[in-house]
Amino acid sequence: MSKDTKSSFLHYDLSPPEIRIVQYNYYCGLARWDYVRRELPFWLLFWNEQPGVKIHFKGKTIELHPGVDVLIPPGTKYSTSCGSLRFNQFYVNFFAQAPLDLVRKKIFLFPSTIRNFVRKDFPRWQENQSLFTVQLYALVFAVLRQIPFEDYVGGEKTPLDSRIRKITDFMEAGFGENTRNNRELAKRVDMSVNNFMRVFKRETGTTARKYYLKKRLERAKTLLKIADNSIEEVAFHTGFSDRYSFSKAFKSYTGFSPAVWRKQSDPPSAK
């Protein structure tokens, strides 16, 4: 290629990865942050203002300090210990769709982006909630940008058939709508019902009905843990007709009633 040749990388209509922040907090005086084999259903991004907290992951101990942000993908098993230390922590919980579902389950430590945000920008931006939302999402993307290419699983996990990915995204976009039959779903991707059922099970390992129910219950686990909604509201937001049917399905899936699950400081994973 000659030095006068110009390369073009023009693309149109790029769709961003779907990310939804479900909670954030700047917690002052946090204590007793000791967990054994913790495993969260959402991403956790946090920064500790004081040193001394330890994370234990796969036989290794990592001592944290204010110069690093910590990013932990969902489903990562780890433990923490802080002894008698009291510390301040800024954290964000969020869900992320493909391709971020291909990130390896590990503890990521990055040079802190949160520290300057909290110390300089946090009070000013919080005065305007809509502007603060933009800043918070920008912060999450800035941290995600630091994930190395080699920490995406890539070939170890085959992406879903594009038609099935469209359906799973559609399911997760409307948990409050309980109409999800195979005929309706197949029609959305121009497939016959039998072919849709066959391909869906091949790609996900289960039926569309069971897949949708599991996703709704996983979302309910999170809503019960991190939000102040009533159990009736959680049932409504996850597509159940009433508290009774929700509680029955939830206990069958987790082994715990919604009320018992909510009271636990760090509920165990579903069986």
Of 207, 220, 206, the closest CA to residue 175 belongs to: 220
Pairing of strands 35-38, 78-81: antiparallel
Query: pLDDT grade, residue 224 (50/70/90)?
Result: confident
Write down the mean pLDDT value for the chain.
Answer: 85
Alpha-carbon distance of 170 to 207, in angstroms, equals: 15
Region for residue 227 given its phi and psi (left: phi exceeds 0; alpha: psi -120 to 50; beta: otherwise): beta
pLDDT band at 128 (very low <50, low <70, confident <90, very high): confident
Q: Which of 15, 50, 19 is nearest to 33 (CA)?
A: 50
Q: pLDDT (tens digit, 9 = 90+) per residue, 134-151?
A: 999 999 999 999 999 989
205: its two tokens: 């390992």
Look at residue 269 and tell me whether its pLDDT is greater than 50: no
- The gap between the terminal CA atoms of the chain, to the nearest Å, is 58
Instruction: Provide the pLDDT confidence category of residue 43 given band limits of 50, 70 and 90.
Output: very high
How far is 169 from 21, CA to CA, in rounded Å? 17
- In whole angstroms, what is the distance from residue 131 CA to residue 121 CA? 11
Q: Look at residue 13 in the predicted model and tell me its pLDDT.
A: 67
Nearest-angstrom CA–CA distance, 8 and 192: 41
Task: Please name the residue that has the structure tokens 């979302």.
Answer: 219
Q: pLDDT digits over 169-208, tens only? A: 788 766 655 556 898 899 988 999 999 999 999 888 899 9
**Angstrom distance (rounded) from CA 203 to CA 163:** 10
Q: Which two tokens stand for residue 261?
A: 């699950």
Phi-psi region of 239 (alpha: psi -120 to 50; beta: other; left: phi over 0): left
- pLDDT at residue 10, rounded to an integer: 63
Closest CA to 236 of 175, 168, 150: 175
Q: 39-48, 156-165, 195-204, 228-237: lowest mean pLDDT where? A: 156-165
pLDDT of residue 121: 77
What is the predicted pLDDT for the residue at 267?
45
CB atoms within 10 A of CB 41: 17
- The verdict on pTM exceeding 0.95 is no
Give 268's pLDDT tier (boundaries 50, 70, 90): very low
CA dist., res. 14 & res. 254, Å (int): 38
The pLDDT-based confidence of 8 (bands split at 50, 70, 90) is: low
For residue 39, the model assigns a pLDDT of: 86
Encode pLDDT of 66-96 as tens digits. Answer: 999 999 999 899 999 998 999 999 999 999 9
User: 237: pLDDT confidence band, cut at 50, 70 and 90?
Assistant: confident
Domains in the chain, CATH or no CATH each: 19-151 (2.60.120), 162-263 (1.10.10.60)
Quickly state the pLDDT bin for 229 (edges 50, 70, 90): confident
Q: What does the alpha-carbon distance between residue 258 and residue 251 come to, in Å, rounded to a whole number? A: 7
C-alpha span between 19 and 134 (Å, rounded)? 12
Quote the percentage of the chain above a pLDDT of 90. Answer: 38
Q: Given a cut of 90, is residue 101 above it in pLDDT?
A: no
Assign 40 a pLDDT band (cuts: 50, 70, 90).
confident
71 vs 94: CA distance, rounded Å: 11
SS3 192: coil
